[in-house]
Structure 1
Amino acid sequence: MAMKVEVVSTETIKPSSPTPSHLRNFKLCLLDQLAPPFYVPLILFYSCPDDKVALNSASVTGNLRTSLSQALSLFYPLGGRVKGNAAIDCNDEGALYLEAKAHFELSEVLSNPDINQLLQFLPFPTYRVTPNIEEQFILGVQANFFNCGGIGIGICISHKIADAASLSAFLTAWSEIALNGIDGKASLITPFLKASELFQPKDINIKMPSWVISNEKLSTKRFRFNGESLSHLRARFGSASPTAVEAVTALIWKTAMETARKRPERNENYPLSSAATHVVNIRSRVRPQPLPENALGNLWQITAAPVMDANKGAELQDFAGILRKSIRAIDGEYLSMLQGDRGLAMAYESLMAAPKLAASSAGKMELYRFSSWARFPFYKVDFCFGRPAWVCTTSFPTQNMVFLLGTRCGDGIEAWITLTEHDMIEFERNDELLQFVSSP
């Protein structure tokens, strides 16, 4: 039976206090200017507390709305509207807030999630690029109330001003206000809003890479790695000692490359090599003073791992080694240059790393894109009804895309992998992969 979610109310939540006139024109930083014009989606599911029959939707909604309004006064650009590709008009027009009724039990989602059904828990379509960005909300929230008393908080934030780290910072601040009010810890949750001073905006007239929705039939599935299986996986690398993210990335990349080799249509034009890109959060890498984790903006760069020959027997260590080397290239020296006169050229080169690799191969290379959200504290977001039972994103409509998220226990990784349908069938029965994948 299909899971039905019905929106029952819609309103706009404005900041609790007006944005001062001298802050109304918020400059986008250079990296924001180059960011894609779609939404970053996240859903947090909360089970009904054991000591309550059901969470009272009226009181929960009241607290969510009040605390959201107060959080918007701190993160005031999120209550404004994008103005061209240079600034946000912090006009306090507010964020969208929807309340919805999920006519089924939360356990149906947690026990056997249907990834195609998750979009209905979100306030906006996520990866659909639309031309009228200046008329759109920057932030949208949908509070979904289940029959059992559980709650799902779906949130979308515009990628023109925020990345996943920014979303995490906002959720942390919002939940802190919901728990304890805006007084007392406001100084700890006030965001860093000066990215444009470090990465100064430019007059951009270059052709941006297109965000193409794949025409192939795609399949998105999640693969879970618990703490024990990650320990076993990392032991496979010997003295290389990769991080958990590096180890999982290497395993998925190697498995995907082996999968591609087994395609039935393999011929002389078959992809002979593969490469991987990874999104790198640059906040902690800026020198001489690292940026705080609650810095608002698109503070990331894309690094491309060199090409691997699919016809040569590469080991996990090989994949992890070139991956680590490419990530470490995004260092303090690189970021100092990114802040200088060559900043635009370097940032554009980062964005074009994947398209250039694909173009240079004349169709004989398979490209895999990775982005890790595993370190963000989404599972600590508490709106007065405990920690989330599950935090997830949605499928990305482009093949060979991988998102890595953390798990509730804190020591695992959940990989959301989008491949073509025929590749996914072969991928999910790979013997080496299955040695480390945990049961759902």
Structure 2
Amino acid sequence: MVEVELTSREIVKPSSPTPAHLKKFDLSLIDQLMPPVYYSSIIFYYDLSNSPGNRYTPTISSKMRQSLSQTLSHFYPLAGRIRGNLHVECNDEGALYSEARVDCHLAEFLSIPDLEALGKFRPVPTISTVPVEEAVQVAVQVNVFSCGGIAICVSLLHKLADGTLIGAFAKRWASICNGCYTKQPPSHYYREASLLFPPRSMLPNHASNWLLFVNGSKGRAGRYVFDPSSMSKLKARASSSSVPNPTAIEALSAFMWKHLVQAGKVKSGATSKPSSLISHAVNLRSRMDPVLPEHSIGNIFWKAYAHVDDQAADAASEAKLVELLRKSLSKIDSRYLERMQGDEGVSVISKWLEEAGRLYGKCAPSYYAFSDWCKLSSYEVDFGWGKPGWVSPGCMDLGTIINGAYFVESASKGGAEVWLILDEEEMRALEGDQEFLAFASINPSISGCIMEE
């Protein structure tokens, strides 16, 4: 078992104080729906063979902290604290920065990644243990392996940060650290989210339905790797006259959906299953007119739901499931986004939440929440000693996101990894599915981040 010992812990504050006129940063209505959890969490693994001394040194440590301080000035609301689920007080209280010692070599850890050990690399638990008003919005832990390699875990509080923002934050921090980003912080920051989706003193009806899949059920983490050849085959299988060119994520989503339904049926021992439902997190930045930059602060995403009824759930072809998913995703268009904004938006969002609750009640427990992190460019995050050899989610706690799945880039271009938390019995059924195993490898070793020892 991997042992991780915390060696230091401090608060890093922004390098420049926030101006008085920017001290209040409003949450958006979507931010208000978010729980105080650190779901936006990602771990970057580096062997440091291109760094001075081939290992993590006090000089590198100092540079990491200084560049984090500068990055917080760029993303100044993330250095503040949430107040009353309405706004952020941009008081420069800062981010948590921790360092820890890992009692094994990076190569040893990556030979067969210990998925349960990933929680030890985190600076904070997934579900915050302190009141949201006291919670840091940015928490970092640099884990130093005995060979000198490191794993950097970056966690952002979901109240103000989604998956797209954590990718933008990590890239900005790395580019400042390696000297490639030299611009001065802007005098104002992107407030589009709260302008488009203004906060409300009273949340919409059915607001709690947003959290339906967050529960304390126990599950097991699984990692499944699809190489570029498998991804190409899945796209071909998912093609149809209705959707002749499915995206890689659509094809992968349909494949996972189909086999998760079948695994659930094996688990239950039933001859038929209830309806099945998936949700997909949709980044709204690229769907806005005009398009918003990736570093726009806030939860600027929504969920697309797709469901299939009764016995058709496990009999449907992947092409049919892709068709359902494409139809669901296409509904979140510029016209729908216009209706979500302003005063009408509360009614639209409330209606959506009500429908989400109805579908969940009809389909549970066959509900799966998918998040696509394949477009975060995670393998471009270079702090000055090269690109990461591996990247993994940092939020796979076993009792918090049951039936939740993250799709992330793989080290092989064109491939993908699916990270999943599932009921133990259902996971065994999935991993015993021979058709599933014809495309997916179960937690293989990482070949791109191995130090010579």
Q: TM-score, normalised by structure 2?
A: 0.90
Moved more, 79-88 or 205-214: 205-214
Map of 1:24-39 to 2, 5 A cutoff?
24-39=23-38
Correspondence for 1:5: 4
Whole-Å Cα distance in 2 between the matches of residues 177 and 294 of structure 1? 15
**Cα displacement string for residues 33-55 of structure 1 (whole angstroms, at most 9, x for unaligned residues):** 11121112211111131576532
Whole-Å Cα distance in 2 between the matches of residues 123 and 86 of structure 1? 26
Whole-Å Cα distance in 2 between the matches of residues 421 and 274 of structure 1? 19
For 1:412, give the aligned amino acid.
G
Correspondence for 1:408: 411
What secondary structure sits across from 2:291 in the alignment?
A: coil
Tell whether the 8 Å contact from 1:302 to 1:351 is kept in structure 2 after alignment. Answer: no
Whole-Å Cα distance in 2 between the matches of residues 124 and 317 of structure 1? 41
Residue 349 (structure 2) pairs with residue 347 (structure 1): yes
Whole-Å Cα distance in 2 between the matches of residues 212 and 257 of structure 1? 16
Tell whether the 8 Å contact from 1:67 to 1:181 is kept in structure 2 after alignment. Answer: no
Correspondence for 2:380: 380
What secondary structure sits across from 1:417 in the alignment?
A: strand
**Cα displacement string for residues 202-253 of structure 1 (whole angstroms, at most 9, x for unaligned residues):** 2224452346654544111011111121011111123422101000100000
Q: Which has the higher contact order (CA 8 A, sep 6+)?
A: 2
For 1:356, give the aligned amino acid.
R
1:88 positional shift:
0.4
What secondary structure sits across from 1:134 in the alignment?
A: coil
1:372 positional shift:
0.7
Correspondence for 1:395: 396
Map of 1:46-57 to 2, 5 A cutoff?
46-49=46-49, 53-57=53-57
The gaps in structure 1 that reach 5 residues or longer are: none
Whole-Å Cα distance in 2 between the matches of residues 55 and 352 of structure 1? 53
For 2:407, give the aligned amino acid.
L
Residue 303 (structure 2) pairs with residue 298 (structure 1): no
What secondary structure sits across from 2:120 in the alignment?
A: helix
Correspondence for 1:436: 439
Correspondence for 2:358: 356
1:311 positional shift:
4.7
Moved more, 109-118 or 60-69: 109-118
Q: CA, structure 1 residues 54+13, in 2 after alignment: closer, same or farther (shift >3 Å)?
A: same
Tell whether the 8 Å contact from 2:190 to 2:297 is kept in structure 1 after alignment. Answer: yes
Tell whether the 8 Å contact from 2:372 to 2:408 is kept in structure 1 after alignment. Answer: yes
Please point out which of 246, 249, 253 is paired with 2:250.
246
Tell whether the 8 Å contact from 1:193 to 1:296 is kept in structure 2 after alignment. Answer: yes
Identity %: 37
Q: CA, structure 1 residues 9+211, in 2 after alignment: closer, same or farther (shift >3 Å)?
A: farther
For 1:86, give the aligned amino acid.
L
Instruction: Provide the aligned length of Structure 1 versus Structure 2.
Output: 432
Correspondence for 1:119: 119
Q: CA, structure 1 residues 229+181, in 2 after alignment: closer, same or farther (shift >3 Å)?
A: closer
For 2:422, give the aligned amino acid.
L
Map of 1:14-163 to 2, 5 A cutoff?
14-39=13-38, 40-49=40-49, 53-126=53-126, 128-130=127-129, 132-163=131-162
**Cα displacement string for residues 260-319 of structure 1 (whole angstroms, at most 9, x for unaligned residues):** 22235437xx633212111111111112x1111221110111111032333562111011
1:100 positional shift:
1.1
Whole-Å Cα distance in 2 between the matches of residues 110 and 413 of structure 1? 17
Tell whether the 8 Å contact from 1:166 to 1:295 is kept in structure 2 after alignment. Answer: yes
Correspondence for 2:265: 261
What secondary structure sits across from 1:7 in the alignment?
A: strand
Q: TM-score, normalised by structure 1?
A: 0.92
For 1:342, give the aligned amino acid.
E
Tell whether the 8 Å contact from 1:13 to 1:68 is kept in structure 2 after alignment. Answer: yes
What secondary structure sits across from 2:420 in the alignment?
A: strand
Q: CA, structure 1 residues 140+213, in 2 after alignment: closer, same or farther (shift >3 Å)?
A: same
Moved more, 75-84 or 239-248: 239-248
For 1:319, give the aligned amino acid.
L
Whole-Å Cα distance in 2 between the matches of residues 399 and 412 of structure 1? 24
Q: CA, structure 1 residues 49+185, in 2 after alignment: closer, same or farther (shift >3 Å)?
A: farther
Q: CA, structure 1 residues 381+348, in 2 after alignment: closer, same or farther (shift >3 Å)?
A: farther
Q: CA, structure 1 residues 259+78, in 2 after alignment: closer, same or farther (shift >3 Å)?
A: same
Whole-Å Cα distance in 1 between the matches of residues 133 and 371 of structure 2? 27
Correspondence for 1:316: 318
Correspondence for 2:197: 199
What secondary structure sits across from 2:151 in the alignment?
A: strand
Map of 1:162-241 to 2, 5 A cutoff?
162-180=161-179, 183-184=182-183, 192-205=190-203, 206=205, 207-209=207-209, 210=211, 214=215, 216-239=217-240, 240-241=244-245
RMSD: 2.2
Correspondence for 2:450: none
Whole-Å Cα distance in 1 between the matches of residues 33 and 215 of structure 2? 21
For 1:225, give the aligned amino acid.
F
Tell whether the 8 Å contact from 2:43 to 2:151 is kept in structure 1 after alignment. Answer: yes
Whole-Å Cα distance in 2 between the matches of residues 12 and 310 of structure 1? 54
Q: CA, structure 1 residues 112+62, in 2 after alignment: closer, same or farther (shift >3 Å)?
A: same
Whole-Å Cα distance in 2 between the matches of residues 242 and 413 of structure 1? 15
Moved more, 347-356 or 324-333: 347-356
For 1:6, give the aligned amino acid.
E
Whole-Å Cα distance in 2 between the matches of residues 352 and 42 of structure 1? 32
Moved more, 92-101 or 308-317: 308-317
What secondary structure sits across from 1:375 in the alignment?
A: coil
Q: CA, structure 1 residues 373+348, in 2 after alignment: closer, same or farther (shift >3 Å)?
A: farther
Moved more, 10-19 or 28-37: 28-37
The gaps in structure 2 that reach 5 residues or longer are: 445-453
Tell whether the 8 Å contact from 1:70 to 1:182 is kept in structure 2 after alignment. Answer: no
Correspondence for 2:427: 424
**Cα displacement string for residues 133-173 of structure 1 (whole angstroms, at most 9, x for unaligned residues):** 00111111111111111011111111011001011111111
1:18 positional shift:
0.4
Tell whether the 8 Å contact from 2:56 to 2:149 is kept in structure 1 after alignment. Answer: no
What secondary structure sits across from 2:366 in the alignment?
A: strand
